[in-house]
A and B are shown apart, each in its own frame.
Chain A
Amino acid sequence: MRDADREAFDEFVRARLPQLLRFGHALTGSPHAGADLVQDALERTMLAWSRIDSKDDPEGYVRRIMVNRNVSIWRRYRRERLVDEVPERQLPDRTRDDSLWEAIKLLPTKQRAIIVLRYYEDLSEAQIAATMGCSAGTVKSQASRAMAKLRELVKDDAMVGGEAR
């Protein structure tokens, strides 16, 4: 990598890192996993930096990598995430927002990505489809399933003892 390229890349990272970390957090549900995801995407972006034209959108490029890598990393590690015991129930005094945040984290990775891109990034179905490399129909059906699951999870949680807003 040429010095000028490296300078431009470093400048981009310094300028956009907070936004990318927030996006990674929303995508993974964890600030630490989000930071790892950002690092992974930036490593790939750095190697491809010279191919990214100055008129391109490097941040969009990084975000696309993050969405797609999040799915593939999750596929690779999902076995490690399986647990023998049921995780502890959440404390009963949490708010509806807590319940919703936990429910988002319980969504399958693709559905969570769609929810984050739709409601955090404000992207349209077509834009989400382009980012994730699937059809708009798939985005629509997955979003519908995700919303149904969220409604169910939040409702169940409220019945167990969650505080309704």
Chain B
Amino acid sequence: MSGLEDDLKRVLEQRADGDYVTGADTMLERVHSGAQRLHRRRVGAAVLCTLALVAAGAGVALGGGNLTNTTPPVVTQTTTAVPSNGPTTAPPSVPASQGVQKPPVGGRTTGTTSAPATGSTTPRPSTGTTTTRPPSGPVVTGFQPSAIRARGAGTFWAVGRADCDGKPCSPVLVSRDGGQSFSVAGVPPGDHHTVGGDGDYLWVYGSSGFHHSYDGGRTWARPGPDPGWVTRTFNTSGPPVIVVNDGGKPKLLQGGGIPYFREIEKGLERPDDWSHWGRAVASGRVGDTIAVTVSNTNHVPRPTGCKATADASQVSVVGDVIWLLCPAGSYFSVLRSADAGLTWTTVAKNVRGTSGMGLAARSASTVVVGMNSGWGLRVITSGGSVREVRIPGVLDAGSVHFQTADVGYLVDRDSGYRSTDGGLTWSKLLFTGFR
């Protein structure tokens, strides 16, 4: 590094490291009121925009336009099957002047839903509204993943943002060959950032709420009642296991019951983190230390020896082994228990870390910590070895998770990555070449 570069680092650190008179409470007060103003401005702009569009539409109608040509047709029911594992084909574009429109993406039907697809392993409850994807499917371009969830070593789904026939959408893509190729599994209505699946059963969650599909993504429905605001999802087979938080105590829910989502763990109070592997495990503060609570153990928090700090602890479970990430300022430790939290072993102590870390169990003997700020991963074994893995181009590896001991995924900003060697090397997924 040249002298000027050294000087730049020093000067920037010195000059920006001043005393700041703005306290957190003052700043929060300003931010809250400013955000309200900004929200009002955005709502006002949206209303004006809507009024302008309505006025423009009325102008067309009054000017002799044919309203039937400007109103999208309502899709009542689609019975044509779409192979869930095959690429969909877009209809040829037809000039608008011919008066033929493509069916809208996310057209709604009410009442009945189509028959369940064969091979679904999840019982199907009654649902409310159903959205049917047109058999031809939209043209999906510019896909940027928000989340990836795997089913096996080679099959995984990705949900994200894209353009569907030129309009913003949240399609679910599926790959059954380890990311070599993708096809559009479905386009659930609304905006989604979380996906999960098990065979033909898929589910997504986002600002449009929870939607699921029993036929590989062809039709989507909202379960009734809606489970609420989903803050975490778990990579389990079978019915989805999710954490919802509607302002009160977070709840761990599992799909498949009647009502559709049922609370499967009632004794845990505001944990820092959850994990789920056949049973629920939560980490949280008890006094000055972090304790872990395992379901079916009378909800007795078991002390871990990790001192509680401002940063949240994390747990990740694989089989009978519980891994715990214990943050402490700029450092972290990793603890392991093989007896449901009764005894703990510190396998790595005072490892340099970052904010926003993610813990992902790879196996009973290996765990991975994903970090942000371009710090990559730390692969930690039960024997205490810590291996540093840098991932070129990845800024935030906190979303890392493993489907098997070798196959893992992470999403960083608008890109997805896959590893087949336990996180030592990563390949960027190219979400192209599908229709």
Selected from A59, A100, A122, the residue in CB contact (under 8 A) with B7 is A100
Residue of A nearest to B393 (CB): A126
For A39, what are the chain B residues with a Cβ–Cβ distance below 8 Å?
A: 27, 30-31, 34
- Bound CA span A28–B30, Å: 20
Contact B231 A46, beta carbon cutoff 8 Å:
no
Which listed residue, B22, B42, B229, touches A21 by the CB 8 Å rule?
B22
- By a CB distance below 8 angstroms, the chain A residues around B38 are 43-44, 47
Proximity string of chain B (7-25) to chain A, C-beta cutoff 8 Å, 1 when within and 0 when not? 1111111111110101010
Is A104 on the interface with B (CB-CB < 8 A)? yes
Distance in Å: Cβ of A21 to nearest Cβ of chain B: 5
- Residue from the list A10, A56, A120, A127 in contact with B12, Cβ < 8 A: A120
Q: Which residues of B contact A44 (CB under 8 A)?
A: 35, 38
Q: In the assembly, what is the distance between CA of A104 and CA of B194, in Å?
A: 42
Interface residue? A3 (CB, 8 A): yes
Q: Is the interface of B mostly helix, strand, loop or mixed?
A: mixed
User: Interface range on chain B: under 10, 10 to 19, 20 to 34, or 35 or more?
Assistant: 35 or more
- Expressed in whole angstroms, the minimum distance between the Cβ of B269 and any Cβ of chain A is 13
Task: Say whether B22 contacts A42, CB under 8 Å.
Answer: no
**Nearest CB in chain B: distance from A20 CB, A:** 9
A55 and B398 in contact, given A25-B16, A97-B7 (Cβ under 8 angstroms): yes
Bound CA–CA A100/B7 (angstroms)? 8
B398 proximity list for chain A (CB < 8 A): 55-57
Contact call B399/A55, Cβ cutoff below 8 A = yes
Q: How far is the CB of B315 from chain A (nearest CB, A)?
A: 14
Is B247's CB within 8 Å of the partner chain A? Answer: yes
- Asked if A60 and B5 sit within 8 Å, CB to CB, the answer is no
B35 engages A25 (CB within 8 Å): no
A67–B283 alpha-carbon span in the complex (Å): 35
The listed residue (B14, B18, B20, B250) touching A97 by CB distance below 8 A is B14
What total of chain A residues lie within 8 Å of the partner, measured CB to CB?
A: 57
| Nearest-CB residue, chain A, relative to B392 | A126
Q: Are A13 and B232 in contact (CB under 8 A)?
A: no
A46 x B395 contact (CB < 8 A)? no
Select one of A50, A57, A101, A151 contacting B396, CB under 8 A: A57
- Whether A2 lies near B229 (C-beta < 8 A) is yes
- Asked if B62 is at the interface of the complex by the 8 Å CB criterion, the answer is no
Known: A2-B247, A53-B193. A100 touches B11 (CB 8 A): yes
- The distance in angstroms between the C-alpha atoms of A51 and B230, with both chains bound, is 11
With an 8 A cutoff between CB atoms, is B325 at the interface? no
**A97 close to B11 (CB less than 8 A):** yes
Contact A53 B13, CB 8 Å, known A43-B38, A124-B374? no
Judge if A150 is at the interface, Cβ distance under 8 Å. Answer: yes
Residues of B within 8 A of A50 (CB): 207, 229
- Are B39 and A47 in contact (CB-based, < 8 A)? yes
Hey, which chain A residues are within 8 Å of B421, CB to CB? none
* Chain A positions within 8 Å of B396 at CB level: 56-57, 60
CB <8 Å contact, B374 and A123: yes
Interface presence of B310 (CB below 8 A): yes
Give the 8 A-B CB pairs with smallest separation, nearest first. Answer: A26-B16, A43-B34, A120-B12, A46-B35, A119-B8, A57-B356, A25-B16, A43-B35
Given contacts A53-B146, A123-B373, A130-B413, 7 further A-B contacts (CB under 8 A): A13-B31, A22-B16, A22-B18, A42-B31, A115-B8, A115-B12, A119-B12
**Can you give 19 A-B contacts (C-beta < 8 A)?**
A2-B245, A16-B355, A17-B27, A21-B20, A22-B17, A26-B12, A34-B16, A39-B30, A46-B32, A47-B39, A53-B193, A54-B231, A57-B372, A59-B372, A60-B372, A101-B15, A126-B392, A150-B4, A154-B4
